[in-house]
Structure 1
Amino acid sequence: MQWKFWLVFLAFAAISAFLLLEEHRAHMLGALPYLILLVCPLMHVFMHGGHGGHGGHGGHGHHHGGGERDDREDRR
């Protein structure tokens, strides 16, 4: 019985998405350059885990994992 709900919901979502795309295509295409510019900092934050997760940057005084490992850890 629950699968009927999801089938109806999926059909409603597909029809709604189609109608929204058809009616608001000019608005969405006009905002596309701004959305691409917005994606750059968001990808930096979420893909790198914020600042400090880059590895290889010296002078921070702590190690976040990734990057180079100390060979002495392998000898123990």
Structure 2
Amino acid sequence: MDKRFKITLAIFAVIALVLLWGEHKVHLLGALPWLILLACPLIHMFMHGGHGNHGGHNHHDQSEGKSGGQRDD
């Protein structure tokens, strides 16, 4: 693709986004609280790295008879 085509495509994309924002702003902003609420479980999973080590419990140390997951360093 040549440079002129990319610039033309970018201009059309910006115009389309401006028109869509103007016409659908109420709908998009009305859905924003729900989208944030739906993002909470995803953020929870990513911040904890799944639930493999939730709360800092180390099950391997507990099975060996060490108390509280504390290691002897």
Give the TM-score range, shorter chain: 0.5 to 0.7
Q: Distance in 1 between matches of 2:17 and 2:7?
A: 15
TM-align CA RMSD: 2.7
The code of the aligned residue for 2:51 comes to H
Greater mean deviation of Cα atoms: 14-23 or 36-45: 36-45
Runs of 5+ unmatched residues, structure 2? 61-72
Identity %: 57
User: Gaps spanning 5+ residues in structure 1: where?
Assistant: 62-70, 72-76
The structure with the largest alpha-carbon Rg is 2
TM-score (norm 2): 0.63
Distance 1:8 1:19 in 2: 17
TM-score (norm 1): 0.62
